[in-house]
Amino acid sequence: MTVTHDVRRTVSRLADGRQIIYFDDTAEAPARTAVDSRELGPRAAAGHIRHDALTGDWVAVAGHRMHRTFLPPRDECPLCPTGRGSVPSEVPDADYDVVVFENRFPSYAPVAVDDVSAPEGYLHAPALGRTEVVCFTSDHESTFAALSPHRVRTVVDVWADRTAELGADPDVAHVFCFENRGQEIGVTLHHPHGQVYGYPYVPARTAEMLARATEHHARTGRLLGADLLAAEQADGSRVVLTGEHWTAYVPYAARWPVEVHLAPHRDVPDLVALDDAERDELAHVYLELLRLLDGYFVGDDGASVRLPYIAAWHQAPTRTGRDVSRLLLQVMSVLRGPGKLKYLAGSESGVGGWVTDTRPEAVAARLRELAR
């Protein structure tokens, strides 16, 4: 299962000064020397963040994103290599393996404008940080699940690379790597891609998970994530897949119609800390998990329904709670049946009172059945 891996990293700049990084895992890949010929003007600055006094959450105000690209025609895809469509794209080269660039419409950026005049007692700050796009492949028609294990291994290295670099930025308090797949989730570009956010604060859900982990560690001396994994492994009824280094399971209190957690067996705080063997196996286990998820629902025509999902890497904040945090991938879907979506209506959106329509044990059993 070992993946022999060698990735060439090339850093360049787009016409407006934003950074672009090529990660090439193909031995014969040419040097990335193409120049962005577009006339873009100055790079867009991020806006600001406002503190919600009722909940303690921070909200980014990014008014310039109202007019960002939305489901463009195939020949105007900004994530395809330049030359494959009718207009130059965000990627100047004629091809690429994996590429990362700063978002043209950033929620957080190294340049931010805080022009708020707020009443006394209201908190606000510039939305400094980073918002990046990760293109997994130059093939517009592909998906993450269709990538080779070799390519997924590259993506894992890219996630670790971006976590390390953004985490070293003094303006970044937390790094979040994620993928949205499917129009039902709200994607605005069909090209297979994910994103990396470098937040100037620790987001609410991460802060909540960190508080629970800190309390558990103070009380038991153990990591909460490790104890949860051990409990799932011992029970077994919600375990979906297991390998030498990773286990996938449906969480005991799953919120979403289809939700799976993928956890490493070793205690690591983030993607950077994964060793080569763990990264190698992750490439295979994650692809197998996505294969099972894509077979979970069957339509009236007997064909499998491609599952829309959010894949979210939960990792330690950059400078706090690293001794009690444990890496975890959460894959979740709003689909509760072919053509049926789970809406976050009154209870969930109003007061955060979640109601799930399916027993987690039944979801796990269905996925194990597909693994046979």
Q: End-to-end alpha-carbon separation of the chain, Å?
A: 19
Higher pLDDT: 279 or 4? It is 279
Are 83 and 184 within one domain?
yes
**Domain-ending residue, one of 148, 183, 200:** 200
Q: What value does the mean pLDDT of the chain take? A: 95
Position 1 in a domain:
no
CATH number for the domain spanning 180: value is 3.30.428.10
pLDDT of residue 67 exceeding 80, the answer is no
CA distance 263 to 196: 20
Domain annotation covers residue 35? yes
Comparison of pLDDT for 121 and 235, the residue scoring more: 235
225/181 Cα distance (integer angstroms): 26
Give the tokens for residue 313: 């890497």
| Residue 321 belongs to some domain of the structure | yes
pLDDT average, residue stretch 4-17: 93
Residue 186: pLDDT band with limits 50, 70, 90 = confident
* 194 belongs to a structural domain: yes
Percent of the chain with pLDDT over 90: 92
pLDDT for 204 equals 96
Assign 3 a pLDDT band (cuts: 50, 70, 90).
Answer: very low
Same-domain pairing of 98 and 220: no
Residues 255-277, mean pLDDT to the nearest whole number: 98
In this model, does residue 273 exceed pLDDT 80?
A: yes
Q: Is 313 helix (H, G, I), strand (E, B) or coil?
A: strand
Tokens representing 73?
């025609």
DSSP track, 84-153: SSSS--SB-SS--SEEEEE-SS-SSBSSB-------TT--EEE-BSEEEEEE--S-TT--GGGS-HHHHH
| Per-residue tokens: 165 | 């670099």
Q: Is the pLDDT of residue 2 over 50?
A: no
Q: Is the domain of 264 the same as that of 172?
A: no
Q: What percent of the chain has pLDDT over 70?
A: 98
Residue 3 placed within a domain = no
Q: Is residue 354 part of a domain?
A: yes
d(CA 353, CA 356): 10
In this structure, the answer to whether residues 136 and 220 fall within a common structural domain is no
Same domain? 189 vs 214? no
Task: Select from 178, 200, 222 the last residue of a domain.
Answer: 200
Range of the domain at 264: 206-371
Is 80 exceeded by the pLDDT of residue 188? yes
pLDDT of residue 1: 40
Whether residues 68 and 132 fall in one domain: yes
313 phi/psi in degrees, rounded to 5:
-90, 115
- Identify whether 217 is a catalytic site residue: no
Length of the chain: 372
Same domain (yes/no): 170, 268: no
Q: Which of 193, 216, 245, 314 is catalytic?
A: 193
Q: Which of 142, 169, 200 is the last residue of a domain?
A: 200
Assess whether 274 and 177 both reside in one domain. Answer: no
**Could you tell me if 28 and 106 lie in one domain?**
yes
Q: Return the pLDDT at 150.
A: 97
- Work out the pLDDT band at 66, boundaries 50, 70, 90: low
Residue 366 lies in a domain: yes
Residue 18 placed within a domain? yes
User: 178 and 274 share a domain?
Assistant: no
Res 55: pLDDT: 94
Split into its structural domains, the chain has a count of 2
Residue 19 has pLDDT above 70, yes or no: yes
pLDDT mean over 313-340: 97
Clarify whether residues 89 and 226 are in a common domain.
Answer: no
184 shares a domain with 223: no
Q: Going by C-beta distance under 8 Å and a sequence separation of 6 or more, which residues neighbour residue 28?
A: none
The pLDDT tens digits for 129-183 are 999 999 999 999 999 999 999 999 999 999 999 999 999 999 999 999 999 999 9
For 79-104, write each residue's pLDDT tens digit: 999 999 999 999 999 999 999 999 99
**Average pLDDT of the segment spanning 284-295:** 98
